[in-house]
Amino acid sequence: MNEQLEVVAEGGGRWEEERADEWLFGQTTDRRQIGVSFLADGRAQVMVWAPRASWVALAIEGNPDSLPLDKEKFGYWCLTTDQLRPGDRYRFVLHGPEDAPPLYRPDPASLAQPEGVHGPSQAVDTGLFYWEDACWINPPLSSYLIYEIHTGTFTPEGTFAGIEQKLDYLKALGVNAVEIMPIAEFPGRRNWGYDGVLGFAAHHAYGGAKALHHLVNACHYRGMAVVLDVVYNHFGPEGNYLDDFGPYLTDQYQTPWGKAVNFDDAWSDGVRRYVIENALMWLRDFHIDALRLDAVHAIKDFGPVHILRELRQHVDALTASTGRTHYLIVESDLNDPRVISPLAEQGYGMDAQWVDEFHHALRVTGGGERTGYYADFQKIYHLSKSYIDAYAYDGQFSAVRQKRFGLRAERNPGHQFIVFSQNHDQVGNRKGGERSSQLFSFDMLKLMAGAVLVSPFIPMLFMGEEWGETNPFFYFVHHSDPALIRAVREGRQKEFEAFYDGGQMPDPQSRSTFRQSNLQWSLPTQEPHQTLLRYYQCLIAIRKQLPALHHLSRRHLRALPDEANQTLVLHRWHTDAHVLCLMNFSKETRLIPLPDGEHRWQKLFDSSAEEWQGLARTGPSPSPESVLSGEAIPVRPESLVLYGRGHERLHVVMPPAIPSPLFMPT
C-alpha cells in the first residue's frame, strides 16, 4: 500500500497529493478496498479505518505473530500480505493509550462471521464466486412485482437455500423481484435484521456469503431480480465495536435508536466511505439488482452533498463501468419529492420509495382502526388521493404531526412509488402481529389485494399474504445482554402504546415468538387459502397482460370517489385500451355509475364471482357482463370488478394453477 502512495506522490506537488487523497477515498468502483480482498497473485490486501487507534495489527488464528499495519492518511491502516488466505479467521488488534490493553475486534468490513458478532472474522475471496448470470438484464423498475421475504421465517429451514427452494413457486405466482429483509450480521440467530452491526457480512445462520451468491444466481436464472434491504440510518447495539475504531456516530443529532450515524461531523469522510463501499459491494460483488434503504428520513446529513446523492453518483459510476443497471429504493417518511428527483434537478436521485400512506389509507378504507398514525386518514378520500397524487399529504395540515406536511410530487412517474396492503413493519409493529387475514373478511382481503394490483405504482406483497397466512409476524430478537433484552421489551411496549389500551406485547426475546412467526406452507393446500392464492395469481396475470394496468402512467388516470357510499372508481388507460376498476368497500351492494361517453365495456374480472368463493350463489345479482358508459351497475359488497374496452384483440390468458409440490413444506 505504501509503495502505491509513494509512486503517486513522488513528484511532491499538490496535484500528486490530491491524487493520493483520491486513491485513499476510494473513488474507484471496480473493486472493494476496505476490509480484506485478494489480489490476482493471491496476496491479501487489508485496509481498515481506525483513526482512534495509535497502532493496528492483524491477528490470524493459528499464526502466533500479529502482522502490523502501516498507518496512512485520514485514519486508514493498510497491509498487503501472503499470510492471510481465504477461509482464515482473523481479528484486528487495536492499540490505544499506552496504559490500556489492546482490543481484539472483528473487521468492520468483514464478509463472514461464522461465530457471530463477537467472534473472529473470516476472509472471503469474492473473486472465486462462479457467476452464471452473464446474460441477465435487470428489467425496468416499472415492471417489478416485488415479494418481501424475511429469510428466517419464510421457510422451515430459515436460510438462503430455503428461499431458493421456493423460487419456482414465486415464479408461478407471477413475482419477478424478491426483496430480502436485512441480512447483515446481527446478534444471535433470529432478528428482523435491523440490528445488524457488521454490514458487509451475510448472516452466518442464513448460510453466509456463498449461499447468498448461490441464491442470486438461482434468482437470475429464473428471471427474477433481487432487492436487498440495507440499513444506513443506525447500527445495532450488541456486538457493535465500531466506536473502538472511529467516530461512526455523532452526538450532534439523535434518532429513535440513539446517536445518529456520523455523515457530516468530524471524521465523517471515513463513515461515508464505509456506507458507499458497502452498497457497491452488494451490487458489484453479489450482483444484487436493487437496494432498499431503510428509513432514510432518520439519516442526518447537512453537509454540502447529501450521502444519498453521493451514493447515487457512485452507483451510476458502477453502472457505467459494468454495464449493469442497479436501482436504489428508499423508505422515506418525508413526503419530499427531492429524495426521488434526478440529480440534474438537484434531487438525491433515488429510483423509488415505499409509500406507507397508501397502505394507511387502504386499511382505513377497508374498515381498519383509526388509532396512532392511522388517525390522519379518512375513508375513500385519502385512498383516492393516493392513487392520484401518490402522497396523501402534500402540504395539508396533519393532525397527528400537528403541522402542515409534505410537498406535491407532480413530476415523478408511477414507477417511483411502491405500494402494498401489508409489509413487515405494518404487521410486525402491531401488538399481536396480526396479518390482514386476521383483521378483515375474506372478501375484503381480495378487494385490498386488487386495490394494490390495479394501482399505477409498483406493487409489493408481503410473504404469505397471497394465501392469507394466519400465523402472526411478530418482532423478535436474540440478544445475550440481559439489560439490552429488558430495554427492548420496555421500548417496544412504550413505542406502540398509542395504538393499544393495556396488555403486553409478545416477548421479542422468546424463541416461541419467533416460531409463531413462521409461514405455514401447508395452508395453500386448504380452503379458502388455495382459492385466495389462485386469485392473486390470476390478478397478477391480468395486471401484466392489460396495457392500461402495466403501464404506470399517473397522467392517464382518473379516480372518482364516493365517500357516502364507500365506493371508488379508478379509470386507467393506455392509448385506446381502457380499464375501469370499480371498488365497493361497503358491506352492501352499491350502484356505481360509469363515466359518461359512448362506449361499451366488457367485464374482465369480478372478485365476487363463484370461483373466488364470492357471493354468486347466495348474494345479490352480479355485475353485468357488458355495460354502456353512463349506466349505474350493481357491485357486490367488499368486491372489485374490472371492466375494459379497447382490448378486443387481446385475450386475457389465465396462468395454469400452481402445482401443489411447489408450495408443500420442504
pLDDT for residue 527:
96
pLDDT, tens digit, for every residue of 31-67? 899 999 999 999 999 999 999 999 999 999 999 999 9
pLDDT for residue 653:
86
The answer to whether position 143 is within a domain reads no
The answer to whether position 431 is within a domain reads yes
Assess whether 53 and 174 both reside in one domain.
no
Would the annotation count 294 as a binding residue? yes
- Vertex 303: Cα angle to 46 and 308 (nearest 5): 65
pLDDT for residue 271:
98
The band of 498, judged by pLDDT with boundaries at 50, 70 and 90, is low
Q: Average pLDDT for residues 374-381, to the nearest whole number?
A: 96
- Model confidence at 640: pLDDT above 60: yes
Distance CA 62, CA 7 (A): 34
- Model confidence at 142: pLDDT above 90: yes
- Model confidence at 506: pLDDT above 90: no
The answer to whether position 330 is within a domain reads yes
Distance CA 69, CA 48 (A): 9
Assess whether 97 and 229 both reside in one domain.
no
Q: Which residue has the higher pLDDT, 546 or 598?
A: 546
Q: Average pLDDT for residues 568-586, to the nearest whole number?
A: 96
- Model confidence at 414: pLDDT above 70: yes
Q: Average pLDDT for residues 333-362, to the nearest whole number?
A: 97
Residues with a known catalytic role: 294, 331
pLDDT for residue 288:
98
Would the annotation count 308 as a binding residue? no
pLDDT, tens digit, for every residue of 439-468? 999 999 999 999 999 999 999 999 999 999
Would the annotation count 95 as a binding residue? no
Distance from chain centroid for Cα 33: 26
Assess whether 121 and 162 both reside in one domain.
no
The answer to whether position 270 is within a domain reads yes
Of the candidates 266, 274, 237, 236, the one whose C-alpha atom is nearest the C-alpha of residue 250 is 266
Side chain identity at residue 215, one-letter code: L
Assess whether 375 and 471 both reside in one domain.
yes
pLDDT, tens digit, for every residue of 359-371? 999 999 999 999 9
Would the annotation count 404 as a binding residue? no
Assess whether 104 and 201 both reside in one domain.
no
Residue 111: CATH number of its domain? 2.60.40.10
- As beta bridge partners, residue 38 has 44
Of the candidates 306, 240, 236, 312, the one whose C-alpha atom is nearest the C-alpha of residue 268 is 306
Q: Average pLDDT for residues 159-175, to the nearest whole number?
A: 98
Counting residues of the chain whose pLDDT is more than 90, the rounded percentage is 84
- Model confidence at 17: pLDDT above 60: no
Assess whether 352 and 313 both reside in one domain.
yes
Distance CA 77, CA 327 (A): 32
The answer to whether position 265 is within a domain reads yes
- Model confidence at 648: pLDDT above 90: no
pTM: 0.94
Assess whether 350 and 210 both reside in one domain.
yes
CA torsion sign for 233, 237, 238, 241 is positive
- Model confidence at 99: pLDDT above 90: no
Set of cell numbers at residue 68:
502490523
Would the annotation count 638 as a binding residue? no
Which among 98, 128, 158 is the end of a domain? Answer: 128
Would the annotation count 357 as a binding residue? yes
Q: 162-168: which pairs have CB atoms within 8 A and are 24 or more residues apart?
A: 162/666, 163/215, 164/214, 164/215, 164/218, 165/666, 166/662, 166/663, 166/666, 167/218, 167/219, 167/222, 167/224, 168/222, 168/662
pLDDT, tens digit, for every residue of 423-435? 999 999 888 999 9
Would the annotation count 428 as a binding residue? yes
User: What stretches of 132-225 show up as alpha helix (H) in DSSP?
Assistant: 151-154, 160-165, 167-173, 208-221
Exposed (0-12), middle (13-18) or buried (19+): which is 564, by Cβ within 10 Å? exposed
Which among 94, 128, 162 is the end of a domain? Answer: 128
The answer to whether position 400 is within a domain reads no
pLDDT for residue 649:
59
User: What residues contact residue 25 under an 8 Å CB cut-off, 6+ apart?
Assistant: 74, 269, 273
pLDDT for residue 490:
84
Domain that holds residue 96: 2-128
pLDDT for residue 22:
55
Would the annotation count 588 as a binding residue? no
Contact present, 447 and 640 (Cβ < 8 Å): yes
pLDDT for residue 15:
37
pLDDT for residue 12:
39
DSSP string, 587-627: SS-EEEEPPSSS-EEEEEEETTSGGGT-STTTSSPPPPSEE
pLDDT for residue 97:
80
- Model confidence at 16: pLDDT above 60: no
- Model confidence at 660: pLDDT above 90: no
Assess whether 207 and 336 both reside in one domain.
yes
Residue 179: CATH number of its domain? 3.20.20.80
Query: For residue 235, how many C-alpha atoms fall within 13 Å in the half-sphere facing its CB?
Result: 24
Assess whether 374 and 294 both reside in one domain.
yes
Kindly provide the residue ranges of all beta strands, DSSP E only, lying in 265-349, ordered along the sequence: 290-293, 327-331
Assess whether 346 and 469 both reside in one domain.
yes
The band of 570, judged by pLDDT with boundaries at 50, 70 and 90, is very high
User: What residues contact residue 494 under an 8 Å CB cut-off, 6+ apart?
Assistant: none
Assess whether 157 and 17 both reside in one domain.
no
For 177, the 3-state DSSP assignment is: strand
Would the annotation count 295 as a binding residue? yes
Assess whether 85 and 164 both reside in one domain.
no
pLDDT for residue 650:
59
Between 95-104, 170-179, 313-322, the lowest mean confidence (pLDDT) is in 95-104
- Model confidence at 623: pLDDT above 90: no
The answer to whether position 179 is within a domain reads yes
pLDDT for residue 596:
85
Q: What is the largest CA-CA distance in the chain?
A: 89
pLDDT for residue 6:
38
Q: Average per-residue pLDDT in the chain? A: 92
pLDDT, tens digit, for every residue of 385-412? 999 999 999 999 999 999 999 999 999 9
Counting residues of the chain whose pLDDT is more than 70, the rounded percentage is 93
> Would you tell me the crossing angle of helices 381-389 and 356-365 to the nearest 10 degrees?
150
Domain count, the chain: 2
The answer to whether position 659 is within a domain reads no
Preceding amide of 528 cis, omega within 30: yes
Would the annotation count 598 as a binding residue? no
